[in-house]
Amino acid sequence: MGAQAINIRLAEPHDAQAIALMSRDLVEAGLGWKYDAARVRRAMRDRDTLTLVAEERGGIAGFTIMEFGDERAHLVLLAVRPLKRRAGIGRRLLDWLMESARTAGIESVHLELRAGNEAARGFYRAMGFSESVTVPGYYRGREAALRMLRVLRVPGPASYTWRPPTLGQK
């Protein structure tokens, strides 16, 4: 089943446990469990955080959590179930986030990933992210992180192309 059969929607409180288990098993494996269901629910309630799920026949095929600041956003988590990868689900989730960030006037989106995760590294590169720095011991002193960023607009005030019509002037 392709990405078209997947429904991307805002996460709801009843999704928290499934998201937490995916985070534990697919993102945080070997590092300890930080994003349990209670923390995921707090993220859902935070007005500056966007939590999405990719749903297929009532089950969650993927999810993402992104925090928004004034000018920067931080992609906290993104995961797609292994059997659902390479079907465009991650791309659809990230596209929704990037459009939301552009609409919010965000300058750049930042993320960290395990430095050795070549599949994720390639995915984010293909999605327009650039590598910025490697941080040794970032993950509980045991594993290095690679920081990546995607610039959405040049720093400074957002430019608006729309102008109000001038009434009665030619």
Give, in degrees to the nearest 5, the angle at Cα 100 between 96 and 160. 135
Tell me the CA distances in angstroms from 41 to 24, 60, 102, 110, 147, one per residue in order. Answer: 15, 16, 25, 22, 26
Out of 118, 124, 131, 143, pick the active-site residue: 124
Per-residue pLDDT of the chain (170 residues), as tens digits, is 454 588 999 999 999 999 999 999 998 888 878 899 999 999 999 999 999 999 988 799 999 999 999 899 999 999 999 988 888 999 999 999 999 999 999 999 999 999 999 999 999 999 999 999 998 888 888 889 999 999 998 765 555 555 555 565 54
Q: Is 112 a catalytic residue?
A: yes
**Angstrom distance (rounded) from CA 139 to CA 39:** 18
In this prediction, residue 130 carries a pLDDT of: 95
CA dihedral sign of residues 31, 93, 87, 134: negative
Give, in degrees to the nearest 5, the angle at Cα 78 between 62 and 155. 135
Q: Where exactly are the structural domains of the chain? A: 3-151
Q: Which residues fall within 8 angstroms of residue 104, CB to CB, at 6 or more apart?
A: 68, 73
Q: Is 139 a catalytic residue?
A: no
Considering the domain 3-151, what is its CATH architecture?
3-Layer(aba) Sandwich (3.40)
Out of 28, 99, 112, 160, pick the active-site residue: 112
Give, in degrees to the nearest 5, the angle at Cα 127 between 123 and 130. 90
In this prediction, residue 43 carries a pLDDT of: 95
